[in-house]
A = this chain, B = another copy of it.
Amino acid sequence: MTPFSNHPDLKRFLDRLTSRSVLSEEEQLAILSLPSHVEQVQSNRDFVPLGVNVDHACLIVAGLVGRFGQNSEGNRQITAIHIPGDMADLHSVVQPMTGSALQALSVATILRIPHVAIRTVVARHPAIAEALWRDCMVDASILSQWVVNVGRGDARERVAHLICEMAIRLRGSPRRTDILFDFPITQTQLADATGLTPVHVNRTLQSLRREGIVEWSRGNVVRIPEWDALAAAGDFDPDYLQTNVKPQQRLGPVDADWSPVAAHNAHGPH
Contacts and interface: CB of A to CB of B under 8 A. Distances in A.
A249 to B, nearest CB: 9
A69 B268 contact: no
A186 interface: no
Interface stretch (A173-181, A201-209, A255-263): A255-263
Contacts of A82: none
A13 interface: no
B51 A91 contact: no
Given A141-B99, A195-B151, A270 B47 contact: yes
Interface string A108-143: 000010011001101100100110111011111101
B120 A153 contact: no
B262 A91 contact: no
Contacts of A75: 152
A53 B266 contact: yes
A145 B67 CA distance: 11
Contact of A77 (B122, B136, B152): B152
A94 interface: yes
Contacts of A255: 116
A240 interface: yes
A54 interface: yes
A138 to B, nearest CB: 7
Given A99-B242, A147-B150, 11 more contacts: A39-B270, A46-B268, A52-B261, A52-B265, A71-B235, A73-B235, A77-B147, A95-B137, A99-B240, A120-B253, A133-B136
